[in-house]
Amino acid sequence: MTAVDLSTSSVRELNARLHALAADTNETAWRVTRPKGAHAIAAGLTFPVSVEIDGHVGYYCGGMNQAAALTINGHCGTGVGENMMSGSVRVRGNASQCAGASGHGGLLVIEGDAGPRCGISMKGVDIVVGGSVGHMSAFMAQSGNLVVCGDAGEDLGDSIYEAAIYVGGRTGRLGADCVEKEMTPEHRSRLAALLERAEIDADPSAFRRFGSARRLYHFTVDNADAY
């Protein structure tokens, strides 16, 4: 395992080393110590390497991830896993706002709670939150899945398109055009698979499903108040 101590090395140097890896590298396991809340750690990775960070991180950790497996042993700031394409990002603590924003693919797991706008504008990423999420989560979510094992704040799924939301706890006021939908055996099976991938122990039968009512796809004056 390659170890990097961010008290003696900069994030720029760490990311440069990770980006310079060859496709056939044998340096596939990395450990980052003493991050001290630094921003943009392990952003833009394009190789299937594993990076374990021991401590709390700042903004955009694991952003634009592609193929790498990233584990954060602590809490994280805004935009963890932002615009990720594939691979995985796991947060063993809590996440701030906009976790997984605009994510196109891969798996983001937050074992604790996530702040507001979790999964905003998600475009195919799967996000599993072991705790609760804040307001406006899955705002304008286009595709993918947001699984919330705890409670969801106000305006969940506002202006949602075709993403699916599963909530195990309570929900506040739903956002514009977001409605509760039937939880069929197929959806429970899909949810069970997501929870298993995320290594989150939760009962799929305890969840409710939410999605788009599809009233806002085309403007009509009757729905003007909902926009």
Residue with tokens 């990423």: 125
Residue numbers of the domain that contains 88 = 2-226
Task: Judge contact between 124 and 84, C-beta under 8 A.
Answer: no
pLDDT at 223 (0 to 100): 63
Structure confidence at residue 177 (pLDDT)? 93
Enter the pTM of the model.
0.95
Per-residue pLDDT in tens (0 to 9) along the chain, 227 residues: 999 999 999 999 999 999 999 888 899 999 999 999 999 999 999 999 999 999 999 999 999 999 999 999 999 999 999 999 999 999 999 999 999 999 999 999 999 999 999 999 999 999 999 999 999 999 999 999 999 999 999 999 999 999 999 999 999 999 999 999 999 999 999 999 999 999 999 999 999 999 999 987 766 666 666 65
Phi, psi angle pair for 88, to nearest 5°: -145, 150
Q: For residue 40, what are the CA distances in angstroms to 15, 57, 60, 215?
A: 9, 8, 5, 38
pLDDT at 226: 60
Number of domains in the chain: 1
What is the number of other CB atoms lying within 10 angstroms of the CB of residue 112? 16
Please report, for the domain that includes residue 175, its CATH number. Answer: 2.160.20.60
Which tens digits make up the pLDDT trace of 125-163? 999 999 999 999 999 999 999 999 999 999 999 999 999
As a whole number of angstroms, the distance between CA 15 and CA 195 comes to 31
| Alpha carbons 78 and 56: distance in angstroms, whole number | 12
